Amino acid sequence: TEWNRAMRQGHPLSLVMLDIDYFKRVNDDLGHLAGDDCLVSLARVCANEIQRSGDLLARYGGEEFSVLLPVTPEAGAISVAERLRVAVAETPVHVGGHAGTVELSVSVGVATITPVPGTSPSDLIARADEALYAAKGAGRNRVMVFRDTGAQAISDS
């Protein structure tokens, strides 16, 4: 729906994809219930940072989340992505049945497209995913943005 609206109106559509760094360790070391607590906490932190009513936060799968930002140019999406990255890093997770907290970080990929005929939502997803995996490959806990010349770093831990 948002893709078609952006195409009709000629507005940019941005996608932010986040993946919890080293999440397998949480599940392996503390158990899947602790992992579930981390997922719920991450969703809550992200929901608190998403400020516009039209923005959409969703669990994309596993420990990956996406934020669709209608009518948002690249600079705005980068700002949201960095705010999310910092908020997650600054929010320790209290997991049931364990003393102490779990510190999380996320790798984040950002992509922006102004839809035109011949493009599809899968193009936007592929670009954000490429930037996300570039962030993981560059050391995690950072934001990278898709550019036609390749993913570029925006922030480091």
Strands 101-102 and 106-113: unpaired
Please give the single-letter amino acid code of residue 5: R
Signed CA dihedral, 144, 141, 137, 127: sign only = negative
Q: How far apart are CA 46 and CA 87, in angstroms?
A: 8
Integer Cα distance of 62 and 23 in angstroms: 9
CA distances to 68, 75, 112, 145 from 41, rounded to whole Å, are 19, 26, 27, 25
Active site amino acids: 63
Residue 17 per-residue DSSP state: E
